Amino acid sequence: MGRPPCCDKEGVKKGPWTPEEDIILVSYIQEHGPSNWKAVPANTGLSRCSKSCRLRWTNYLRPGIKRGNFTDQEEKMIIHLQALLGNRWAAIAAYLPQRTDNDIKNYWNTYLKKKLNKLEAGSDQGHNIGVSVSQPMSRGQWERRLQTDIRMAKRALIEALSSNKASSSSTLLLAESNSNLSSENSIFYNSNTNKPTTQSMCYASSADNIARF
């Protein structure tokens, strides 16, 4: 069983909206807000179903909608998000707040998908004839490249930290060895300087003993 119809299809007008209908819908929403769409046709006198009123407002009449050609950055974003989310156009439109999900879906189906298919076909032909063809990334390649960049950045950071730690530890070891060496040398020199004194003391005590005899 599918979703029940939003309204009775009898007497419902279809086809393009007229400027007069747009003015009536915009005036009503400005006063009551974009809610309770089932009550809009009855309260405004529009011979449109509630779904048609909602889509007309969401995709064409609400403020802040961006019209015109999609930029390169927007195309890359749509390709990346479509590879991650699939054909969930409402979720994709959340990352492009000035674009409607309907515009994004239409742009994908009429242009972007065909463009990617041509690029992939050209890339396959280039591999078959042994020629390296540099083509823009498409679909899941965006996600894989992003994950690879993150892993490489983490690895480089870990290597940098480990090298710094190793150099600091070697410096500490060298300083400790130099300290131990200097202390040993001082002990050695002190022992050498004390030896004659000890010997002279021994000699003196022996002379005293001989004199006593």
The gap from C-alpha 22 to its chain's centroid, in whole angstroms, comes to: 40
- pLDDT score of 183: 52
- pTM surpassing 0.75? no
User: Quick one: average pLDDT of 191-198?
Assistant: 44
What is the Cα–Cα distance from 177 to 171, expressed in whole angstroms?
10
* Mean pLDDT for all residues in the chain: 73
Mean pLDDT for 109-116 is 91
The token pair that represents 65 in the structure block: 């909608």
33-79 pLDDT tens trace: 998 999 999 999 999 999 999 999 988 999 989 888 999 999 999 99
Q: Find all residues with CB under 8 Å of 63, minimum gap 6, and list them.
A: none
The pLDDT score that the predictor gives to residue 27 is 96
CA distance 57 to 77: 25
Taken in order 124, 125, 131, 134, is the CA torsion positive or negative? negative
Q: Which helix (H) or strand (E) holds 58?
A: none
* pLDDT tens-place string over residues 145-193: 656 765 665 676 576 566 655 555 555 555 555 555 455 455 444 444 4
The kind and range of the H/E element at 116 are helix 113-128
> Domains in the chain, ordered, with CATH?
19-60 (1.10.10), 68-119+141-160 (1.10.10.60)
